[in-house]
Amino acid sequence: MSPDPVLLAGYAVANQAVGAQLTERGHPVVAADDAPDDRALSHAGELGINLRERPDPEAWLALVANARVMVPTPGLPERHPAFGAAAATGTPIVSELDLAQRWDSRPTLAVTGTSGKTTVTLLISSMLEASGIAASVAGNTETPMVEAIRDPRPAVFVVEASSFRLGHSRCYRPAVGAWLNFAPDHLDVHESLASYRAAKASLWARAAGGTTAVVNRDDPVVAAHAPRRGRVVEYGLGEGDHRVSGTRPAAWPGGEYGAGEGDYRVSGEALWAGSTELVPIAELRRSQPHELSNALAAAAVAMAGGAHPDGVRLALRQWVGLPHRMMLVAEHNGVRYYDDSKSTTPHSVRAAVRSVESAVLIAGGRNKGLDLGAMAEIAGRLRAVVAIGEAAPEVQEAFARRCPVVVATSMEEAVSSAAGLARTGDDVLLSPGCASFDWYESYAQRGDHFAHLVEELIGGSR
């Protein structure tokens, strides 16, 4: 990139890391933010970056017109005036992934999808490390990619690639790219479902002879977007079996541990990579259907990145899951209580409910512009629903006349109501299908509060 002005549209964690890298490399930088906090103002001041506060649409037009390139902060809504200004002036837009790839030549293994990204990303990293390959996790995490490349240790980067980053990438091309699944999400950021889908699909837009696409053949949207160039490797549980046509790897990058047709699957109560058995399901600590799918995806990506089957096996056997992802909080009087607070879409709620036999569901929060009616298809597995938060009326409407629904005005009331509705053998699931920002600062805070209240409830009943 030439030393011309770069505009950072938004100045939170990712663009602060971009700003630091750009200034170190001699690029003049201007930043603008609609609501900068004290940290942003301090950070910009330390770097000597001119941070414009709360520009109006005309000011955005001038800022973009005077920039050679614009780097939007991940999650900046597509309706934001900065994008309209870029379109009007013809100013190119690049992502932090583009910049990191320009500045560092080490390979990246990228994972996108509506749900499961964090789990699969961390599993891949564990598989690589267990195979003796130094790996670093970056992207839609606490460490932006442009910050991760400062570390000389990793031989490879495992990137959690959100639609927010992919949608604005112009040249990013991972060595291995996995698309896990697709369902409506982030319609508070993307202009339409088509825009969200296009952002995900851009993961494979620049596939070439040396790249590998890991495709979930159970998901028809993912399968339909499989690239025609590069290697294509399939995985799945056989639920949809939307097989794709593409270039099959004649020889797997891992050499003698090749997976034949690139088929990662469940067979005979075990996970398989082609003709290689990876691990019996009985040896896994997490074996719900979506967990098995995540495990197969991680194995496919890790082995494409050079992981050894023994390293994959070790990581799978040790995997205990992540906080706030279908984590068992407690069991009392034959009822299990699960914290699935990370669930912020109807798609993830459906996956959680399908993993149990009978549940009382706690759902709601701040809707992200999604159709919560999509949750209705799992009503047959629900004894009742407790609706919470701003979206409680939408949750009520989704399950009306399908199963009993009660409304709770606090998490305390929700836990108490769910416990009263549950029967022996049921599971109480906090799987909200919505963001947490109506009542909480994060999904983690929401999950922690739920777990605390469950422990209090159980403790008080002993």
Query: In the prediction, which pLDDT does 257 show?
Result: 31
From residue 306, alpha-carbon distances to 77, 216, 276, 312 in Å are: 37, 20, 15, 10
**Tokens at residue 113, please?**
């999808």
pLDDT value, residue 460? 62
pLDDT band for position 25 (cuts 50, 70, 90): very high
161-170, 417-426, 453-462: least confidently modelled range: 453-462
Does residue 4 carry a pLDDT above 90? no
> What pLDDT band is residue 32 in, cutting at 50, 70 and 90?
very high
> Hey, CA dihedral for 370, 373, 379, 385, is it positive or negative?
positive
Would you place residue 459 in the very low, low, confident or very high pLDDT band (cuts 50, 70, 90)? Answer: confident
| 3 confidence band (pLDDT: 50, 70, 90) | low
pLDDT for 234-271, tens place per residue? 999 986 555 554 444 433 333 333 333 448 999 999 99
27: its two tokens: 């690029």
pTM to 2 decimals? 0.86
Distance of alpha carbon 115 from alpha carbon 418, whole angstroms: 25
Please report where in the chains the tokens 């993830």 appear, as a residue. 348
- What's the token pair of residue 131? 């195979």
pLDDT tens sequence across 141-200 = 889 999 999 999 999 999 999 999 999 999 999 999 999 999 888 888 999 999 999 999
Distance from C-alpha of 220 to C-alpha of 151, rounded to nearest angstrom: 38
Q: What is the mean pLDDT of residues 329-334?
A: 95
Please, are residues 41 and 16 in contact by the beta-carbon 8 Å criterion?
no
Is the pLDDT at 447 greater than 60? The verdict is: yes
The pLDDT value recorded for residue 140 is 86
Helix axes 443-460, 411-421, angle to 10 degrees: 50
Do 431 and 355 meet the contact criterion of CB atoms below 8 Å apart?
no
Q: Which domains does the chain have, with CATH numbers?
A: 6-93 (3.40.50.720), 97-318 (3.40.1190.10), 327-460 (3.90.190.20)
Secondary structure string (H, E, C) spanning 396-411 = HHHHCCCCCEEECCCH
pLDDT of residue 260: 36
Residue 246: predicted pLDDT:
45
Range from 52-66, 201-215, 239-253, 302-316 carrying the lowest mean pLDDT = 239-253
